[in-house]
């Protein structure tokens, strides 16, 4: 870890000047093919790699980004992060992880810390309560996930499309009494948009709407399913897989098995525990990919903040 070579060494070893080595290193034009090859040979031979810190000091960028997840054990966020990591590595960025635990205060603290560390960019998994002005300083180097805000880059799921797809499927199967278990409107995407999509479909097809919006937690699903079940109910849509997990536990306990469950989010756990549930994949993997790509483009100044929506795929 100690006596690593420097460009100076490489220069000496290949009989050229430091700057030539630097040019080769950065694939700059204006180096003869012969010289380049020679220098590259020496580099490989010694397994040379330039000092990050030194480059950072000159270039202002240390090629570090942060990913702030809400919870490390969020099934959906995991899927997104899983595709994000390789994408960052590929471009030479080191992703550091932080957990917000759905606390705006933690987000603030983390962002403060990141700013002091002069980090290149941030992917933030959004949740309700985050105020835009906290994010302001990051406008140019932030990608919001699962949430959008005007002026900020974001990668969102197609909340409306996802719900509509599920409803459509159930409708085609003949269901006419479909209940809904969701999240309060204070959560704009998972809460409001999905619920409204449900209501819209019901209205359009003249179906009775029976809904409850307890929250994101499994236990809330478990506790509240009963409240949306009527004697006519034949199907139930859950806004998230977590809610569906809670709901189905209740249904199982009550031995209610004449109900078609459907939910947004086809995580592996869900697929395994309840393959009978109709799910729609909001495209977590794709979202992770896009978020990383977008952030990198922004960092390199090759893109303005864009708002991306991932199409949902029924599965």
Partner DNA sequence: CTGTTAGCGCCTTCAG
Partner DNA sequence: CTGAAGGCGCTAACAG
- Summarize as ranges the residues that interact with its own copies (CB under 8 A): 1-2, 4, 49, 51-54, 56-57, 60, 62, 64, 67, 72-73, 75, 78-79, 81-82, 85, 89, 94-99, 113, 115-118, 141, 218-219, 222, 245-246, 249, 252, 268-269, 272-273
159 vs 193: CA distance, rounded Å: 6
Q: Which is nearer to its own copies, 62 or 108 (CB)?
A: 62
182 vs 215: CA distance, rounded Å: 6
Q: Could you please report the per-residue DSSP string of 207-266?
A: PPPEEE---SSHHHHHHHHHHH--TT--EEEESSHHHHHHHHHHHHHTT--S-EEEEE--
Q: Which is nearer to DNA, 32 or 206 (CB)?
A: 32
Ranges within 45-104 binding DNA (CB under 7 A): 50-51, 54-55, 57-59
Q: Which is nearer to its own copies, 40 or 62 (CB)?
A: 62
Q: Does 280 bind DNA (CB under 7 A)?
A: no
Ranges within 7-36 binding DNA (CB under 7 A): 7-8, 15-20, 22-23, 25-26, 29-32, 34-36
163 vs 172: CA distance, rounded Å: 14
Terminal CA-to-CA distance of the chain, rounded, Å?
A: 49
Q: How far is CA 216 from the centre of its chain?
A: 17
DSSP 8-state class, residue 114: H
Q: Which is nearer to DNA, 8 or 203 (CB)?
A: 8
User: Residue 20's binding partner, choosing from DNA, its own copies, none, with beta-carbon cut-off 5 to 8 A by kind?
Assistant: DNA
Applying CB under 7 A, the span of 3-11, 163-171, 235-243, 280-288 interacting with DNA comes to 3-11
Q: Which is nearer to DNA, 17 or 137 (CB)?
A: 17
Q: How many residues bind DNA (CB under 7 A)?
A: 28
* Pair 224, 212: CB distance under 8 Å: yes
Which spans in the chain are helix H? 7-14, 18-25, 33-46, 52-59, 75-90, 104-116, 132-135, 159-172, 194-204, 218-228, 241-253, 268-273, 284-299
User: Residue 118's binding partner, choosing from its own copies, DNA, none, with beta-carbon cut-off 5 to 8 A by kind?
Assistant: its own copies
Which residues make up the interface to DNA (CB under 7 A)? Answer: 4, 6-8, 15-20, 22-23, 25-26, 29-32, 34-36, 50-51, 54-55, 57-59
């Amino acid at each position: 870890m100690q006596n690593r070579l420097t460009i100076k060494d490489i220069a000496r070893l290949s009989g050229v000047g430091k700057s030539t080595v630097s040019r080769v290193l950065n694939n700059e034009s204006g180096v003869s093919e012969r010289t380049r090859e020679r220098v590259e040979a020496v580099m490989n031979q010694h397994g040379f790699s330039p000092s990050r810190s030194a480059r950072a000091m000159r270039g202002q960028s240390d090629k570090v980004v942060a990913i702030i997840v809400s919870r490390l054990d969020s099934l959906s966020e995991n899927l997104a992060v899983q595709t994000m990591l390789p994408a960052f590595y590929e471009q030479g960025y080191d992703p550091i992880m932080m957990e917000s635990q759905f606390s705006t205060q933690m987000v603030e603290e983390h962002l403060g810390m990141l700013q002091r560390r002069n980090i290149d960019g941030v992917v933030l998994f959004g949740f309700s309560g985050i105020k835009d002005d906290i994010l302001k300083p990051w406008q140019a180097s932030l990608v919001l996930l699962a949430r959008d805000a005007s002026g900020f880059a974001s990668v969102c799921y197609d909340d409306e499309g996802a719900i509509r797809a599920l409803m459509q499927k159930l409708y085609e199967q003949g269901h006419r009494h479909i209940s809904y278990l969701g999240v309060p409107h204070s959560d704009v995407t998972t809460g409001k948009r999905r619920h409204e999509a449900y209501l819209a479909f019901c209205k359009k097809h003249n179906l009775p709407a029976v809904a409850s919006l307890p929250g994101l937690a499994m236990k809330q699903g478990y506790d509240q399913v009963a409240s949306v079940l009527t004697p006519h109910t034949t199907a139930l849509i859950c806004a998230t897989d977590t809610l569906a997990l809670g709901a189905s536990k209740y249904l199982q306990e009550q031995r209610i098995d004449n109900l078609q469950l459907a939910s947004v989010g086809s995580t592996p756990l869900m697929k395994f525990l309840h393959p009978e549930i109709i799910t729609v994949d909001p495209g977590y993997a794709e979202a992770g990919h896009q978020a990383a790509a977008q952030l990198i483009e922004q960092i390199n100044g090759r893109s303005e903040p864009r708002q991306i929506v991932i199409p949902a795929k029924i599965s």
